[in-house]
Amino acid sequence: MVTIDDFDFKDKKALIRVDFNVPLNAEFQVTDTTRIEAAKPTILKVLEDGGSAILMSHLGRPKGSRNPEMSLGHICDKVSEIIGVQVHFVEDCVGDEAQQAADALRSGEVLLLENLRYHAEEEKGDTAFAEQLSGLGDIYVNDAFGTAHRPHASTTIVAQFFPGKKCFGYLLANEIRAIEKVMQTGEKPVTAILGGAKVSSKITIIENILPKVDHLIVGGGMTYTFVKAQGGSIGDSICEDDKLDLALEILEKAKQQGVSVHLPSDVLAADDFANDAKTQVVAVDSIPDGWQGLDAGPESLKHFRRVIANSKTILWNGPVGVFEMENFSKGTIAIGHFIEEATKQGAFSLVGGGDSVAAVKQFGFQDKVSYVSTGGGAMLESLEGKTLPGIAAILTP
């Protein structure tokens, strides 16, 4: 794997694909700086070598038009503040203005290009557009895991114009290593905790990870599809009735491969999908009509704790309850604590994919697990066993 450490950037311009698709409030202020902070080590390595950095990113979905609300100019000051260097900004990413700004860049300086997606050619993976981008720098660095699953001009196509001069930034390299640690080189026992609402959205992940894990903990809304498939009564709980046979197939495959599947034994049920609903703890297969399971119950959590405590490698993807509502967040918080305890005992823990990352941040676990992935869709596609185009483009000579 060719990383940024394989290059000396002295007097070189690094064209770095970062993922600065950050949330902004009504005043266009950045409300979560995680992605900018994640790119900082890669940018500083280039500057400390005596090179300069040209940063390219998208923001939002302007769909090929110049929507001023999605200008990367809004975040330039915040990027400067985090990196500790005054960042220059240019109001386009290709053309004469961008080329002149890149040419004028001196060692130790940083240039942020305007939103790539102001040009429809970016998402189309247009070769001519990618070639224009390539003219801005000497070495191409992809450090944007969050977009590595997209065959866009700046994430994939541009790499072909840098034979022998392309590499992974620190963030992307760390993401690849973290996934490899779970999927290939992880110390056993390996435990995957999969939550979320639907079996259908996790089916390819489940099928891909079964040969690689020893334990599979199933939580969240998809629990009830598995329980109903086995003849249990789930009341008004969420369920994919067209996936009952699939749930049974998964359980059979797990059995054949020697994987222990752990479903909740009890749940916190509510008489309404609301934080102030009446609640009761009931057996997962005996939920009364008019009630729905919204969180893992105390006995389930005791059992999950034992499984996690005995694990050496842990993957967590998806909450085990409706954590957005305080009264149904306790199961997800408990899982975070169990993983924290196991990590302290030497386990490697990877949290990835949308809602579980949101939960980890909301409840303050991001520094208590081994690695939190920055890429939602990219992380899920990696777990499905797909080779991401942005990664393949760097690996191709």
Hey, which residues are catalytic here?
35, 198, 354, 377
Q: Is 293 annotated as a binding residue?
A: yes
Q: Is 20 annotated as a binding residue?
A: yes
Greatest pairwise CA separation for the chain in angstroms: 70
Which residue type is seen at 335? Answer: I
Query: Please, how many CA atoms are within 13 Å of residue 85, restricted to the half-sphere of its CB?
Result: 22
Q: Is 214 annotated as a binding residue?
A: no
Q: Is 58 annotated as a binding residue?
A: yes
Which residue has 């770095």 as its token pair?
Answer: 16
Cα end-to-end distance, the chain, whole Å: 11
Residue 232's CB is within 10 A of a number of other CB atoms, namely: 17
Q: Is 57 annotated as a binding residue?
A: no
Q: Is 186 annotated as a binding residue?
A: no
Q: Is 305 annotated as a binding residue?
A: no
List, in sequence order, the alpha helices (H) in 50-198.
Answer: 76-83, 96-103, 120-124, 127-134, 170-183
Q: Is 390 annotated as a binding residue?
A: no
328 close to 295: Cβ distance less than 8 angstroms: yes
Q: Is 266 annotated as a binding residue?
A: no
Question: How far is residue 127's CA from residue 114's CA, in Å, rounded to a whole number?
Answer: 19
139-142 and 110-113 strand pairing:
unpaired
**Complete DSSP assignment for 247-295:** HHHHHHHHHHTTPEEE--SEEEEESSSSTTS-EEEEETTEEPTT-EEEE
Which residue has 């996690």 as its token pair?
Answer: 308
Q: Is 352 annotated as a binding residue?
A: no
Residues 6+ apart with CB under 8 A from 226: 199, 218, 247, 250, 251, 263
59 close to 117: Cβ distance less than 8 angstroms: yes
Q: Is 303 annotated as a binding residue?
A: no
Q: Is 363 annotated as a binding residue?
A: no
Q: Is 117 annotated as a binding residue?
A: yes
* Cis before 189 (ω within 30): yes
Question: How far is residue 66's CA from residue 350's CA, in Å, rounded to a whole number?
Answer: 38
CA angle 117, 122, 128 (to 5 degrees): 140
Q: Is 114 annotated as a binding residue?
A: no
Q: Is 60 annotated as a binding residue?
A: yes
What residues form the annotated binding site?
A: 19-21, 35, 58-61, 117, 150, 202, 293, 324, 353-356
Binding site for ATP: which residues? 202, 293, 324, 353-356
Residue ranges of the binding site for substrate: 19-21, 35, 58-61, 117, 150
Feature table: binding site for (2R)-3-phosphoglycerate: 35, 117, 150
